Amino acid sequence: MERTRNIFAWLGEKEEQEVLALALKHVEKSFECVLEMKSGIESLVNNDIESKKRHIVLAKNAEHDGDEIKKVIMNELSKGMFLPPDREDLILLNENLNDIADSAKGVVRLLEFFEKEPSAELDRLLLENSTLAVKAGEKLKAAINYLVKSDIQKVMEECAQIETLEEEGDDKRRDLIKALIKTELTPQLTILVYEMIDNLENVIDCVKKAGDMVRILAIKAR
């Protein structure tokens, strides 16, 4: 009999179990990076510079840990008994998870340049956008857990909610740009805030891309 492409058809095999377990660890680290990013923004808004510095370090540490997990996954995929299409799908998911942490680290790197919050309106919108990123990350974690459990309907539901959050993020970006245009800041701060807005959008976009990949894997697992 021809071997099925369904990556869950042989979950009892050691290699597949190890890769899926590592994927769960990877999403945890990516989500941790997003959480620390949000906490760093909250610290900036509260003018708690020491707390901001602490969360920046924690975000960078989480991103580094995720990089190490990514390397292990790539190594496992290179030697495991996966068919090429399955290997490609898992590699893309691995890359998507890594991109989430990279984008969140991009936000905290910009936070390092802020000594005080930009403005009350921008503070509110930045926090709201970072909260959307956290919610999207929570949905992605849930989707991957349901994927491992082969609960395809739940995977679809979580991924649909990620799409909704991504659309909300697009609206929030427009609100942020409008607020930035109306706020009197130095040219340097204007550039920094704009870059932060873009990086926050990238975080949510990367979660959406990872969710799309999870959905593809779920459809193949039917």
Of 143, 137, 71, the residue nearest 104 (C-alpha): 137
| Domains by residue range for the chain, with CATH | 14-220 (1.20.58.220)
Place of tokens 């179990």: 17
Amino acid at 6: N
Q: Tell me the CA distances in angstroms from 166 to 134, 171, 172, 216, one per residue in order.
A: 11, 9, 10, 18
Instruction: Tell me the two tokens of residue 191.
Output: 């550039």
Q: What's CA 91's distance to the chain center, in Å?
A: 16
Q: Tell me the CA distances in angstroms from 47 to 54, 191, 204, one per residue in order.
A: 13, 20, 25
What is the C-alpha radius of gyration for the chain, rounded to an integer number of angstroms? 19
Give the pLDDT confidence of 166-216 residue by residue, as tens digits: 999 999 999 999 999 999 999 999 999 999 999 999 999 999 999 999 998
Stretch 2-9: mean pLDDT: 44
Model pTM score: 0.88
Give the pLDDT confidence of 25-79 residue by residue, as tens digits: 899 999 999 999 999 999 999 999 999 999 999 999 999 999 999 888 888 777 7
